[in-house]
A and B are shown apart, each in its own frame.
Chain A
Amino acid sequence: MSDQLEQSFVKQLKENQNIIHKICRLYTNGEDAHNDLFQEITIQLWRAFPKFRGESKFSTWAYRVALNTAITLYRRNTRTIATVTYEGQKHFLSQEDYNHEEEEQIKLMYQAVQQLNDIEKALVFLYLEDKDYTEISETLGISEVNARVKMNRIKGKLKKILNP
């Protein structure tokens, strides 16, 4: 029975691992830290898995646990140093789809996002994942209106970082 649970968990995690990788990339600044956070998120997901009833998609359920782990439970300081560019970024683009200029812009954009604080990153992550404000507000535990206001402020902040 528990083997079955483990099997089902491992399979779903493997299929959805990119979500966790994306969070790790936002919150860490090196391969070691990335793997470390990935592992901690995996452990926390596994612990919470018995409470996953399949009412939502595995991925939707995993957002919350993964973000909570990155923001709250993870012990190492995950604040990225703005000047350090993460190696993984190089593989960020599927080359054929972008021209050079756009690629450069996205890279800068990515660096700007890394300068945000943990909470702002969470908002950006959920926004990039196409979550609506209802889900963003529920995930973070803030009101929908305030989530919206904050998101607009973050956009402004990013603009400022990009065009000082």
Chain B
Amino acid sequence: MDELDLLKKAWKKDTHSFEQVTETEIYKMLHKKSSSIVKWILIISVLEFAVWAGVNLLFNTDDAIQKLHAENFSIYLKILTYINYAVVIWFIYSFYRNYAKISTITSTKQLMQDILKTRKTVQYYVWYNLSMIFVSTILGFIMAFVYNPKMDALKYKISHENGYETITITVCIILAITVLFVGLFWLIYRLLYGILLRKLHANYKELKKIDL
């Protein structure tokens, strides 16, 4: 006889072996807070949306433009800002839609996919913000290069002295800062979601392996 069938026999008889929970205890449980990963994902995601919205508000580009007398840039920046708002709203909407879809009454695989998809939305949102910062930095640099009188020395250096070397160094510095920045975020993400989702990832992989 199969070992598992032996266990099955015992399993069925096993109805009175647990300490029974009373109705009062169940009532109490209903009003306790959940500690599920979905709740944590929601909390962290809302924080992320808030932090990046804050960052966007803090960077007031109008002042900088006025200081530099780069008004003909300002129309492009305005367009960019509105596009940015639209994109952020779209992110929040799709996050909400994915979040609302998470349900414990779907299949295990579907549930895992829905959770991962919800989290991915936030991840894309953060990468979007990072790349916007990167683009803004380059734009800012170009603007400064064109309009800021302090850059004249650098321009002079490029056109009269060792131009190739100066450009290389400038580009290298920008690249290094970018890599550092992105690397830092990547690390935070690995840690934060790594801890939160390690189990889910492992189980999801296992499920997919079965269905190969």
Q: Are B34 and A40 in contact (CB under 8 A)?
A: yes
Does B200 have its Cβ within 8 Å of any Cβ on chain A?
Answer: yes
**Measured between alpha carbons, how far is A71 from B6 in the docked complex, in Å?**
25
Given the interface contacts A14-B22, A14-B23, A105-B6, does A92 sit within 8 Å of B17 by beta carbon? yes
Report B-chain residues with C-beta under 8 Å of the C-beta of A93: 10, 13-14, 17
Chain B window 171-212, contacts with chain A (Cβ cutoff 8 Å), 1 for yes, 0 for no: 000000000000000000000000010011011001100110
Does A77 have its Cβ within 8 Å of any Cβ on chain B?
Answer: yes
Report B-chain residues with C-beta under 8 Å of the C-beta of A110: 7
**Which of B11, B23, B104, B200 is in CB contact (< 8 Å) with A128?**
B11
Given the interface contacts A102-B6, A128-B11, does A141 sit within 8 Å of B109 by beta carbon? yes
Which of B69-77, B110-118, B145-153 faces chain A? B110-118
Chain B contact residue count (CB 8 A cutoff)? 50
What's the least CB distance linking A20 to chain B, in Å?
9
**Measured between alpha carbons, how far is A11 from B11 in the docked complex, in Å?**
24
Does B79 have its Cβ within 8 Å of any Cβ on chain A?
Answer: no
Q: Are A91 and B17 in contact (CB under 8 A)?
A: yes
Chain A window 9-34, contacts with chain B (Cβ cutoff 8 Å), 1 for yes, 0 for no: 11101100110011001000000000
Q: Are A77 and B199 in contact (CB under 8 A)?
A: yes
Does A69 have its Cβ within 8 Å of any Cβ on chain B?
Answer: yes
Report A-chain residues with C-beta under 8 Å of the C-beta of B15: 18
Chain B window 94-117, contacts with chain A (Cβ cutoff 8 Å), 1 for yes, 0 for no: 000000000111111111100100
Q: Are B4 and A155 in contact (CB under 8 A)?
A: yes
Q: Are A122 and B23 in contact (CB under 8 A)?
A: no
**Measured between alpha carbons, how far is A74 from B34 in the docked complex, in Å?**
9
Which of B25-33, B50-58, B59-67, B81-89 faces chain A? B25-33
Report B-chain residues with C-beta under 8 Å of the C-beta of A155: 2-4
Q: Are B30 and A6 in contact (CB under 8 A)?
A: yes
Does A44 have its Cβ within 8 Å of any Cβ on chain B?
Answer: yes
**Measured between alpha carbons, how far is A43 from B40 in the docked complex, in Å?**
15
Q: Are A61 and B10 in contact (CB under 8 A)?
A: no
If A6-B27, A119-B206 are given as contacts, then 16 extra A-B residue pairs at C-beta distance below 8 Å, sorted by A number, are A9-B30, A14-B23, A44-B34, A65-B105, A74-B36, A75-B40, A94-B14, A109-B3, A109-B6, A109-B7, A118-B206, A119-B108, A120-B206, A141-B110, A146-B210, A155-B3
- Provide a sorted-by-A list of 17 A–B residue pairs whose CB atoms are within 8 angstroms: A13-B26, A18-B15, A22-B14, A51-B103, A68-B111, A72-B112, A75-B196, A93-B10, A94-B13, A106-B10, A109-B6, A118-B203, A119-B108, A119-B203, A127-B4, A140-B108, A142-B207
Binding site for A on B (CB under 8 A): 2-4, 6-8, 10-11, 13-18, 20-23, 26-27, 29-30, 32-38, 40, 103-112, 115, 196, 199-200, 202-203, 206-207, 210-211
